[in-house]
């Protein structure tokens, strides 16, 4: 067999075999559920919070890797799925850090609280895995989501307009001074001159337009694949805008935003590749993982002091810097919810759903909009002086206890499977950009379900734009 023959076979393996959307195989789901059961059995034999979490993290991680391999046997295209991102997201936010030594975690929580948090996580992973089978993998039939292709000129115009609207509130706050813009990005977290007030007013509408920034990365991925069709000056403009967006995401110290930029660029690029080849897929993915991991480590170090001070003081060489990978220790925040609800506070029920739905509505359009939940997560867990993140799992528990965790996980698994129906190989590049943005919305929702209705606004904007324009 010649090398040419082998290359054809490899390429054919990674091309989709059918015109159906990507979908999980049942064997992979069974494998993942077995890993969840093994994790539940294993962690109970441990006697410290850190070893309990590690005993759960290893079998879930291994079983998920095996399930992904089983999914890949249908072709590499079958891995471009929203449900996989959801499971990766919740695993990364809860268990992944315990694959590494976490000596400080034992001082942050107790064995009973850790058990509750791990149970919540395992139920969530199982719910996502099962929920993704509740929607059949059929092509998307909605007329609104049958998005026609857009010309190179139209794509560039959408790119520039999205960048302008996404950065407008920031530019206005610094009087369109580019130097002041960069200076603002270099400062400590939450000290930027363009931060909105707690409740917001008419000017907050411009801040909401900042969501248009999320359109830039996936469009940049498509434009890179079409780079031979653009003039040099267009590529320079597009590159400068993308670099500024990435720098903004990195310097802000908010890791989920930076990773979202990287992930959606990668998805926009991979989904619109004219021909799928092994190394053309693997190398970009490895680079994205390395950049995300390296960037996330340093972002956690400098976000309180700011990137400028971090570099000037060479804090990255300090002996006090972390010597292990840590995310947010969300397990330490999730556990107290199990202890406090419903013992000290009633479950919040539909209040969680209501707040999720109304959160993106500007207060100027909804004067009676609640300022938040009637009881905050911080009040429930007894945190004073800092914010607490519990992932969507904790929020589901606040809604209806264990039934809330299971129900919300099944719903998000099914919703992810429904959105996978957009990822058809014969879709237009524009439709695949919309899919990539929905991919981002799913990932950020794992951190908090309250972000879902906000994160889908750029998706809606692109859909509406394409349905009311005649560009070809």
Summarize pLDDT for 306-340 with one digit per residue, the tens: 888 888 877 666 655 555 666 678 899 999 999 99
pLDDT of residue 362: 74
pLDDT of residue 14: 45
Are residues 335 and 113 in contact, defined by beta-carbon separation less than 8 angstroms?
A: yes
Tell the burial category of 11 from Cβ atoms under 10 Å away from its Cβ (0-12, 13-18, 19+). Answer: middle
Quickly state the pLDDT bin for 30 (edges 50, 70, 90). Answer: very high
Summarize pLDDT for 203-255 with one digit per residue, the tens: 566 777 888 898 999 999 999 999 999 999 999 999 999 999 999 989 887 77
Token pair for 259: 């990773």
pLDDT of residue 54: 95
36-45, 263-272, 382-391: range with lowest mean pLDDT: 382-391
372-379 average pLDDT score: 84
Quickly state the pLDDT bin for 201 (edges 50, 70, 90). Answer: low
Are residues 328 and 303 in contact, defined by beta-carbon separation less than 8 angstroms?
A: no
Model confidence at 388: pLDDT above 70: yes
Residue keyed to tokens 């919740």:
90
State percent of the chain over pLDDT 70.
89
Are residues 230 and 223 in contact, defined by beta-carbon separation less than 8 angstroms?
A: yes
CA end-to-end distance (rounded Å), the chain? 44
pLDDT of residue 46: 93
- Model pTM? 0.85
Sign of CA dihedral 104, 96, 86, 400: negative
Q: Which of 68-72, 73-77, 248-252, 382-386 has the highest mean pLDDT?
A: 68-72
pLDDT of residue 415: 95
Residue keyed to tokens 């805008």:
241
Are residues 86 and 442 in contact, defined by beta-carbon separation less than 8 angstroms?
A: yes
State the Cα–Cα distance between residues 390 and 348, nearest whole angstrom. Answer: 15
pLDDT of residue 432: 85
Kindly report the number of other CB atoms within 10 A of residue 110's CB atom.
Answer: 15
Sign of CA dihedral 148, 151, 154, 160: positive
Q: Enumerate long-range contacts of 65-68, CB under 8 Å, 24 or more apart.
A: 66/28, 66/31, 66/35, 67/24, 67/27, 67/28, 67/29, 67/31, 67/32, 68/28
Model confidence at 348: pLDDT above 90: yes
Are residues 86 and 24 in contact, defined by beta-carbon separation less than 8 angstroms?
A: no
């Amino acid at each position: 067999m010649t090398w040419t023959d082998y290359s054809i076979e490899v390429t054919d393996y990674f091309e989709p075999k059918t015109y159906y959307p990507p979908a999980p195989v049942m064997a992979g789901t069974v494998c993942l559920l077995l890993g969840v059961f093994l994790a539940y059995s294993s962690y109970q034999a441990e006697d410290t919070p850190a070893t309990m979490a590690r005993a759960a993290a290893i079998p879930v991680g291994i079983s998920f890797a095996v399930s992904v391999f089983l999914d890949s046997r249908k072709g590499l295209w079958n891995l471009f799925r929203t449900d996989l991102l959801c499971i990766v997201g919740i695993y990364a936010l809860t268990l992944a850090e315990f694959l590494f030594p976490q000596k400080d975690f034992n001082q942050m929580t107790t064995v009973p609280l850790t058990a509750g948090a791990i149970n919540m996580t395992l139920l969530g992973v199982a719910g996502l895995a099962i929920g993704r089978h509740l929607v059949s993998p059929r092509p998307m039939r909605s007329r609104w989501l049958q998005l026609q292709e857009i010309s190179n000129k139209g794509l560039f115009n959408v790119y520039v307009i999205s960048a302008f609207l996404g950065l407008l509130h920031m530019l206005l706050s610094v009087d369109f001074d580019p130097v002041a813009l960069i200076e603002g990005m270099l400062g400590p977290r939450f000290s930027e001159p363009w931060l909105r007030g707690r409740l917001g007013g008419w000017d907050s509408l411009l801040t909401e337009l900042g969501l248009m920034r999320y359109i830039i990365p996936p469009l940049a991925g498509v434009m890179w694949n079409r780079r031979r069709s653009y003039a040099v000056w267009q590529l320079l403009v597009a590159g400068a805008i993308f670099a500024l967006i990435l720098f903004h995401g990195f310097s802000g110290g908010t890791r989920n935003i930076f990773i979202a930029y990287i992930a959606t660029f990668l998805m926009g690029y991979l989904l619109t590749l004219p021909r799928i080849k092994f190394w053309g897929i693997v190398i970009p993915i490895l680079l994205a993982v390395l950049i995300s991991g390296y960037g996330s480590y340093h972002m956690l170090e400098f976000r309180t002091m700011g990137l400028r001070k971090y570099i000037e003081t060479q804090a990255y060489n300090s002996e006090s810097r972390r010597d292990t990978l840590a995310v947010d220790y969300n397990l330490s925040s999730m556990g107290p919810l199990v202890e406090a609800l419903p013992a000290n506070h009633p479950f919040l029920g539909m209040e969680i759903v209501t707040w999720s739905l109304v959160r993106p509505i500007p207060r100027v359009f909804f004067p009676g909009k609640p300022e938040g939940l009637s009881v905050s997560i911080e009040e429930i867990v007894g945190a004073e002086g800092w914010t607490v993140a519990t992932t969507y799992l904790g929020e589901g528990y606040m809604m209806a206890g264990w039934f809330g965790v299971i129900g919300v996980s099944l719903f998000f698994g099914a919703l992810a499977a429904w959105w996978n129906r957009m990822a058809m190989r014969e879709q237009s590049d524009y439709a695949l950009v919309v899919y990539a943005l929905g991919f981002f919305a799913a990932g950020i929702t794992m951190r908090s379900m309250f972000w879902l209705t906000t994160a889908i606004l750029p998706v809606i904007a692109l859909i509406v734009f394409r349905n009311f324009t005649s560009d070809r």
